[in-house]
Amino acid sequence: MNLVWLALRDYRSYASLDFHPDPGVNVLLGENGSGKTSILEAIGYLATLSSFRRSPDAALVRLGADAAITRGEFSSGPSGAVIEVETPATGRRRVLVNGKGGRSRADVAGVVALVAFLPDDLDLVKRGPAYRRDYIDDVAAQAWPAAATEQTEYDRVLRQRNALLRRDGRSADGATLDVLDERMSELGGVLLARRLAICSLLGPAVSELYADLGEEAEAVDWYYLAAGIGPVEGQPGAAELAGGLRDGLSGARRADLERRTSTVGPHRDDLVISIGGRDARSRASQGEQRSISLGMRLAAFHVLTERRGSAPVLLLDDVFSELDASRGRRLVARLPRGQVFVTSARAEEVPLVGKRWRVVTGEVTAE
């Protein structure tokens, strides 16, 4: 999988950019604030329809412009796809895949695979469950594009349930809540089954890559914790998981009416990571947490390469400044061959040979 060209109009600091990267390694060099991360963000935006900086859509539009236009062509062997996104400062964005109206993440996940290593990846281990859920869901959506639609549908029924609870609280209509619970159980069961399936692929890869990356001998392990239900072992089917959710939701009904929100469901679940039997979130060193997060990104890269038959586009945003030289080299050695985009302020800290680009505010030139 590789990006053939990228064209930006009014995206962040870029009034206009036409970028034809190398199919191999691309090293983007520039000062902080030069806009090199924005290029990676734009590539990621085409693949996921969201900013990896967690920025709202409106923040992507250049100051004073009506809309940002992000376009790019991805090719994978003989097949390819042009993705175009028009992001207005206010209002709904428009997505075209090969000139046809796409409507959802599934439409782009079907044609692009991408993994990004980010400077704040430590958050994957250190911060709240939402970071780990997003990580799992992102990999699942790329492994099975249908999963992206399933995620959107679960999200929608959850928002409907929460809207009912928020508005009516204890006087919420029981029959309506019953059918929302039923839909949420069914869609949640499907979502959970996907998460467990992708976790079973990622888990062993994370342990193995972690062991490969560091000197630490301690084993990394994880389990999936379903809110209000408990740890989930093995790989139950969607129907069985839906049954568990049905019971979980009815058990939480009283609390939900009281608190006016949904306290049980996949949107509250966590992936509990441990290192040498210690909780990685609260009782691991910063260095250990960083290595685990690298292992998680690498595992995603390996699993997606395996599933899709070719390496996803890889983004490494200012990753090497956070790693010591030997870890950086070990990371690079474990990357399957494919197209890579690396940003850095200092050329000498990048242990990768490839085409070098100089980024100066709003412009990219080959070195």
Partner 1 sequence: MYEAPVQRLIDELARLPGIGQKSAQRLAFHILHIEAEDANRLAGAIVAMREQVRLCRRCFNVTDSEECTICRDLRRDSSEVCVVERAQDIVVVERTQEFRGRYHVLGGSISPIEGIGPDQLRMRELVVRVDDEKIVEVIVATNPTVEGDTTALYLARLLKPLGVKVTRLASGLPVGGDLDYADEITLGRALAGRREL
Binding stretches for partner 1 (CB under 8 A): 103-104, 149, 152-153, 156-157, 159-161, 163-164, 167, 173, 175-176, 178-180, 182-183, 187
The single-letter DSSP state of residue 265 is S
Closer by beta carbon to partner 1, 54 or else 156: 156
Output the smallest distance, CB 173 to partner 1, in A: 6
- Cα maximum dimension of the chain: 66
State the nearest-atom distance from the C-beta of 82 to partner 1, in Å: 22
Q: Which CB atom, from 164 or from 272, has the smaller least distance to partner 1?
A: 164
* Shortest Cβ 67–partner 1 spacing (Å): 13
356 close to 21: Cβ distance less than 8 angstroms: no
Q: How many C-beta neighbours within 10 Å does residue 282 have?
A: 7
d(CA 271, CA 356): 38
Nearest approach, Cβ of 40 to partner 1 (angstroms)? 30
Sign (positive/negative) of CA torsion 118, 119, 124, 127? negative
Query: Least distance from C-beta 34 to partner 1, angstroms?
Result: 36
Label residue 225 exposed, middle or buried (CB < 10 Å: 0-12, 13-18, 19+): middle
**Residues 6 or more apart from 60 whose CB is under 8 A from it?**
11, 12, 41, 45, 51, 68, 70, 87
Asked if residues 345 and 29 have their Cβ atoms less than 8 Å apart, the reply is: yes
Cβ distance to partner 1 smaller for residue 168 or 212: 168
**Of 117 and 144, which has the nearer Cβ to partner 1?**
144
The three-class DSSP label of residue 247 is: helix
One DSSP character per residue, 177-213 reads: HHHHHHHHHHHHHHHHHHHHHHHHHHHHHHHHHHHHH
CB of 183 to partner 1, least distance (A): 5
Q: How far is the CB of 106 from partner 1 (least distance, A)?
A: 9
Give the nearer residue to partner 1 in terms of CB position, either 179 or 239. Answer: 179
34 or 185: whose CB is closer to partner 1? 185
Write the DSSP assignment of 18-44 as a string of letters. Answer: EE---SSEEEEE--TTSSHHHHHHHHH
Cα(120)–Cα(112) distance, integer angstroms? 23
Q: For residues 157 and 313, which CB has a smaller minimum distance to partner 1 in the complex? A: 157
Residue with tokens 């939900």: 256
CB of 241 to partner 1, least distance (A): 18
Output 158 or 304, the one with its CB closest to partner 1.
158
Give the Å distances, CA to CA, from 90 to 64, 66, 70, 318: 12, 8, 16, 31
Complex with partner 1: residue 43 or 141, whichever CB lies closer: 141
Closest distance of CB 176 from partner 1, Å: 6
Residue 320: closest CA among 286, 280, 284, 347:
347
Residue 2 or 263 with smaller CB distance to partner 1? 263
Q: How far is the CB of 171 from partner 1 (least distance, A)?
A: 11
Annotate 27-48 with b (16+ C-beta within 10 A) or e (fewer): bbbbeeebbbbbbbbbbbbbbb
CB 292 within 8 A of CB 275: yes
Do the beta carbons of residue 339 and residue 313 sit within 8 Å? yes
